[in-house]
Amino acid sequence: MKIKIKELAQKKELSLYRLAKELDIPQQTVYSWAKGRTQPSYENLDRLCEALDCTIGELLEAEPVQRKLSF
């Protein structure tokens, strides 16, 4: 699952650095989430939504699933 932290932060005119400071979370943690290396906990997802003024649905973007059909 992809997290759209960077895009939503830009809409609020926040850098990832500033977002990390607002959340009182290490900057590297926020960068890891933005790059998809790690995933935030449910608690941090709520905090992100609050800081970015968005819903969890807006924050999370499902990646397309490819299915192979066999006949």
Q: What is the pLDDT of residue 19?
A: 96
Lowest mean pLDDT: which of 17-21, 49-53, 58-62? 58-62
Domains for the chain: give ranges and CATH numbers. 2-61 (1.10.260.40)
Question: What tens digit of pLDDT does each residue of 8-32 get?
Answer: 999 999 999 999 999 999 999 999 9
Confidence of residue 2 (pLDDT cuts 50, 70, 90): confident
> Model pTM?
0.79
Exposure string for 41-59, b = 16+ CB within 10 A, e = fewer: eeeebebbbebbebeeeeb
